Amino acid sequence: MRKKRIISVMALVLTMSMALLAGCSGSGSTTTSETPKQETNTKEATPTKKTSFLIGMSQANIGEPWRVAMNDQIAVAAKNHPEFEVVYADASQDNSKQIADVENFIQQKVDILIISPNEAKPLTAVVKKAYDAGIPVICLDRRVEGDAYTQFIGADNVLIGTKMGEWVASTLGEKGGNVVEVKGLEGTSGQKERHDGFMEGIKSNPNVKVIASQNADWLRDKAITVMEAMLQANKQIDIVFGQNDPMAEGAYIAAKNAGREQEMKFIGADGLPTPDGGIKSIMDGRLSATWVYPTGGAEAIENAYKLLVKGEKLEKEVTLGTMEITAKNAVDAYKQYGGK
């Protein structure tokens, strides 16, 4: 009996030992067969480099040949960069329309906004909205108030106006004479700056008198009407200061219709090398002088490329040069600026 009990105890011990060994063996097996944990990748993934960019071009109007030329030069320059797609909006000299155009570009999340504001103050808030939304903004030709933009590209309108005034002062000489001014759209920076510069330029000749000044909104057809009224009100006009070439052309047409075009000289600014531009007008004898006002279209695209593709920081201000063109150099200037 005692022998049977010893055997039973030994059997129990043996069973427990085997179970223990099996448990240890199982634990080892589980550890070695477990799928190793993947390490967490804490390094940020390199962002995919963009290969295409959407550019929103908000134009003040396309009623001015100079602005059509700006759009054309933007299109030509963009062809050199196949990664660029440019979409255009024409505000038709309507501030509300241009604000809506920019709002639309913000909704489209354009990669960059190029804008030539119709007027500075009304467009300031929406330009700031785009800028604050992280959209780079290039203001072309005309400014907005404040500094909520990436870059401004434009010629020095004060300088151009001053040179025009100096030309008038010199041309009229000691005797002086009467000048009428056909101004651009009220409220635009170019209109104010060219006027201020012109008034500074004529200071050297106290006998130069500005006897009339009226807005024609940069448009040739409106300038015809404005000049008709000026001709009726003024018996003697020696020089017509048109703030751009189309308005100077309009004034010339009105004077010719009245049979008075030989009584006065006509000057303007823009100097486009196109069949209907200011340089050709000088070559044809309608205008006496013009000053080149570069559109900046090509420069805007090249600076967009520097910013978006090359990642370069842009200068806040880019000032474009000018050139005085008269009958002496009109033919050469026409060729120089690409006229055909």
pLDDT 10s digits, 28-47: 333 333 433 333 333 334 44
Q: Which of 319, 300, 321, 303 is nearest to 58 (CA)?
A: 300
pLDDT at 339: 86
Indicate the pLDDT class of residue 3, thresholds 50, 70 and 90: very low
pLDDT at 22: 40
pLDDT 10s digits, 225-275: 999 999 999 999 999 999 999 999 999 999 999 999 999 999 999 999 999
Cα distance between residue 57 and residue 88, in whole Å: 5
pLDDT at 231: 98
CA 22 to chain CA mean position, Å? 81
pLDDT 10s digits, 146-191: 999 999 999 999 999 999 999 999 999 999 999 999 999 998 989 9
| Model-wide pTM > 0.75 | yes
Q: Is the pLDDT of residue 53 over 80?
A: yes
Percent of the chain with pLDDT over 90: 83
pLDDT at 338: 85
Indicate the pLDDT class of residue 55, thresholds 50, 70 and 90: very high
| Cβ–Cβ < 8 Å for 146, 128 | yes
Cα distance between residue 328 and residue 340, in whole Å: 19
pLDDT at 15: 43
Q: Give the pLDDT mean for 205-214.
A: 98
pLDDT at 36: 39
Report the alpha-carbon angle 89-75-154, nearest 5. 75
pLDDT at 132: 98
How many CB atoms sit inside 10 A of residue 16's CB?
10
Cα distance between residue 323 and residue 269, in whole Å: 10
Q: Is the pLDDT of residue 10 over 70?
A: no
Higher pLDDT, 258 or 3: 258
Q: Is the pLDDT of residue 23 over 70?
A: no
Tokens 């634990």 sit on residue: 27
pLDDT at 189: 87
Q: What is the 3-state secondary structure (H, E, C) of the chain?
A: CHHHHHHHHHHHHHHHHHHHHHHHHHHHHHHHHCCCCCCCCCCCCCCCCCCCEEEEEEECCCCCHHHHHHHHHHHHHHCCCCCEEEEEEECCCCHHHHHHHHHHHHHHCCCEEEECCCCHHHHHHHHHHHHHCCCCEEEECCCCCCCCCCEEEEECHHHHHHHHHHHHHHHHCCCCEEEEEEECCCCCHHHHHHHHHHHHHHHHCCCEEEEEEEECCCCHHHHHHHHHHHHHHCCCCCEEEECCHHHHHHHHHHHHHCCCHHHCEEEEEECCCCCCCHHHHHHCCCCCEEEECCCCHHHHHHHHHHHHCCCCCCCCEEEECCCEECCCCHHHHHHHCCCC
Cα distance between residue 79 and residue 101, in whole Å: 23
pLDDT 10s digits, 291-325: 999 999 999 999 999 999 999 999 999 999 999 99
Cα distance between residue 58 and residue 126, in whole Å: 12
pLDDT at 31: 36
b (16+ CB within 10 A) / e for 278-289: bbbbbbeebbbb
pLDDT at 42: 35
pLDDT 10s digits, 126-147: 999 999 999 999 999 999 999 9
Whole-number average pLDDT of the chain = 88
| Cβ–Cβ < 8 Å for 307, 113 | no
